Amino acid sequence: MSAENNPENRKPSHIAYQVREGEENKSYFNRIGAVWPHKDGEGFNIELDSFPKDGKVVVRSVQDRVQEAKDNARDDRPDDRRDDRRSTSREDRRPRDNGPRYER
């Protein structure tokens, strides 16, 4: 088998997941395998490391999951962006958290 056809030597085009529904309509994706397309484009090789009890497997493209992660990271950012201009005097600095301040 050539290196081009051997799945261990190439990155997968898709990832296989078991999706578990959690609280507050959150879905948890558990990676259970990987998918490589056939060279002729007429099928796929699927390698599963585990198999879900309910038998449901979700296959997503690698790029889909990367884009979802980026979108979720953008959604988790706080909207209240503070003015980050720094002052040189210690008295003008705002505390960044509620922890104790230590002076040098």
Asked if residue 104 is part of any domain, the answer here is no
> What pLDDT, on a 0 to 100 scale, did the predictor assign at position 40?
92
- Token pair, residue 91, equals 């008295």
Asked if residue 17 is part of any domain, the answer here is yes
CB atoms within 10 A of CB 44: 13
- Token pair, residue 39, equals 């060279």
Please give the residue range of the domain that contains residue 18: 1-68
0.85 exceeded by the pTM? no
- Token pair, residue 21, equals 């529904």
Asked if residue 43 is part of any domain, the answer here is yes
Contacting residues for 64 by C-beta, under 8 A, at least 6 apart:
none
What is the count of structural domains for the chain?
1
Q: Which of 17, 8, 66 lies closest to 36, judged by CA?
A: 8
Asked if residue 93 is part of any domain, the answer here is no
Asked if residue 103 is part of any domain, the answer here is no
Q: Tell me: the pLDDT tens digits for 20-56?
A: 888 888 888 899 999 999 989 899 999 999 989 888 9
Highest mean pLDDT pick, 56-65, 75-84, 93-102: 56-65
In degrees, to the nearest 5, what angle opens at C-alpha 64 toward C-alphas 34 and 8?
Answer: 25
Asked if residue 40 is part of any domain, the answer here is yes
The DSSP 8-state label assigned to residue 8 in this structure reads: G
